[in-house]
Each structure stands twice: as structure tokens, then as C-alpha cells.
Amino acid sequence: MSTLFEPYTLRSLTAANRVWMPPMCQYSAAPEGPLTGAPTDWHFQHYGARAAGGTGLIIVEATGVSPEGRISPYDLGIWNDAQVEAFRRITTFFKSQNTIPGIQLGHAGRKASTDRPWKGGAPLGPEDHGWQAVAPSAVPFDDTHPAPAELTADGIAEIVQQFADAARRSLDAGFEVAEIHGAHGYLIGQFLSPHSNRRTDEYGGSYENRTRFALEVVDAVRAVWPDELPLFFRISATDWLAGEAGWTADETVRFAAELQAHGVDLIDVSTGGNAAGVRIPVGPGYQVPFAARIRGEAGVPVAAVGLITEVEQAEKIVSNGEADAVLLGRELLRDPSFARHAARELGADVHVPDQYHRSV
């Protein structure tokens, strides 16, 4: 029996397998008009193909809790009812394919208001649908980004409420897993790290202060997210900066236990993204050891990411207890039916649409 294709239960939900899809921005929403931030036909076919391909759980890409929280003007958002209605088409299809629908709720902070990656990803001004970015401190991400506006205490409280409102709308849209985006140098990660957080109030300085905003967001979301449904948190386990210059793996292990105490059910473990120009030792499964450490030392369920591309590799990560599930990014972009192909190779069962039974 393949461990990769054993069902996995969190609260009342059971994923049919451990092959999951992580959030990956498509930068394909309308930047203006009545359907700004709403999913389009592109999103439906993109996510639908992976659901039909047997993926057990799909987490829809980073979705802005406010217009200013998007990474780019072309990102998804869930701050109004028109967006909710557009998402329902996707979540309904997921469920018809035995795929759990998840959504990642995020705020880009100082990395907001940028162009699409294939257009260079440069910061955008108002003439190109851009806006003023905000952050814990007025420290730009790099030399190409303008300085963000430092958030006031009232501004922080407003964003916490936006996360809660977005979670409530996500539930209405049919999502069954909510993931809070605390990774890759976006707003929550900016608060966590002393590299980007230079505040001197109750949100900066000590570990307890730097984690305060993240826990406030978690508490606000958990308060509106049903007890029977899981809550995930994506984290960058390290900034890849030496010493105490940034967020560290030791802090991540400590924080994972605190997140669990606040109602988080699973940690989606990535790394990096908060410091420009750092050298990251990229290679097959290079982030898996961070997930394994969190699972082993904090006792919190985890999903592993990072150049997991081979069936045997994915099976080994789960069967060895390094992670409870694997999130396959680039590989699912290349092969929407990875789960079905993996099940065939491992002699396991997976959902196959009736229309595709000739492919079995």
C-alpha cells in the first residue's frame, strides 16, 4: 500500500491522498472593472485540470484580502461578493472530482503593487494600476522597490479584520481549507523577521512582539472559520540570513507549536523570499528537512515543498515521516495528472473522471 495514496484526515475533512497542489499565482485576473480580482476562465481550466487529474487537495493561489494586499493588479482577491460568486464555480468542480478546495489568504505588504513576472515584475505606479505599498517598517524590499508606508496601529487592526472578512467570504465561496500566507517575504513574514521589522512598539523587537501580528490574524480567522474545518499556515522556515539578521529555523519550530495552540492544523513549510540577493542551496527536496524538523520537534502536521518532482521521491518523503503530505508546484504545472500517473506507478487507487476511464 502506498503511503502517498493513503487518505489523510484533519478535523472533519479527509483528503483522498497526500498529493496536493500549493498556491501558485497565475497573474491572470482583471486589474480593473466590476470583476477585478475575480477568477476567470483561465483559473477554472487551470485548477480544474489538476482536480480532474486526481490531486487530493488544491490550495488556490495567494488571494488578496484587500485590493492593496495583492502582489500585482492581476492577482485574485476576495474582498467583495462578485469575487465570491466567481470562486463558487471552481470549488463546486473541485468537490465533484473528490478534491478538497483550499484558498490561500494573503497580503503582500512591501512586495505589493508589482507587474507580472513575465513582464519583469517591477513596481507599478498609479498610471499602471499600482498603489502605495504598506509594511511594518518603511524599509523597501530592494533597491528597485520604493519605500513602503509604515503601518499604524489602526492600519494593523484593519488588516487583521480584512483577513477575517476574507475567511468568511471564502467559506461562502465553498472553500473547505483556509491557508494564511505567512511566507515568502509578504506582510506577515515581514512582521516576523527583524530583517524587515524595525518597529519599536508592541509589534517589533522581541520574538513575542514580532509574532504578535501573525497570531492576531490566526485568531481572527479561526474565530470565523468553522471548528470542523482545517486552518493551514504557510511559513518561510528561514530567511537564509546568517545569525540573528533574519527569521530562523529555531524560531520557526517554536512558532509552529504556538500556531497549533491557536488553532492551526497544518504548517505548509517553505523558505526564503524576505531578503533580496541571498544565496539559497536549491536542489531536489531542499526544503523538506525544515518540514521534517517542525514535525519531529514541534509535533505539528506539515506539508513539504521544494523541487519534489519524482514519484518515488514524493512517496519516500511521506512514508519516512518527513511530512504528512507533499505540495507539488512546478511538477503539477508540467503534469496536471501527476497524481493519476503516480498512482499507476505505485499500484494505488485514485479518482478518475468517467470521461477519462479509457486512460486507466
Contact partners, residue 21, CB within 8 Å, separation at least 6: 47, 50, 55, 57, 58, 59, 327, 328, 329, 332
State the catalytic residue, choosing from 8, 186, 286, 356: 186
Q: Does 47 participate in catalysis according to the annotation? A: no
- Residue 244 is which amino acid? E
Distance CA 273, CA 236 (A): 8
Full DSSP string of 204-223:
SSSHHHHTHHHHHHHHHHHH
Q: How far apart are CA 75 and CA 62, in angstroms?
A: 8
Task: For residue 307, give the nearest of 283, 290, 324 by alpha carbon.
Answer: 283
76 near 37, Cβ under 8 Å? yes
In what helix (H) or strand (E) does residue 127 lie, and over which residues does it extend?
A: none
Q: Burial-class residue 29 by CB neighbours within 10 Å (0-12, 13-18, 19+).
A: buried
Determine contact, residues 10/329, Cβ cutoff 8 Å.
no
- Reading the block at residue 323, the C-alpha cell is 511530512
In the 8-state DSSP scheme, what is residue 224?
H
SS (H, E, C) 271-325: CCCCCCCCCCCCCCCCCHHHHHHHHHHHCCCEEECCCCCCHHHHHHHHHCCCCCE
Catalytic residue ranges: 186
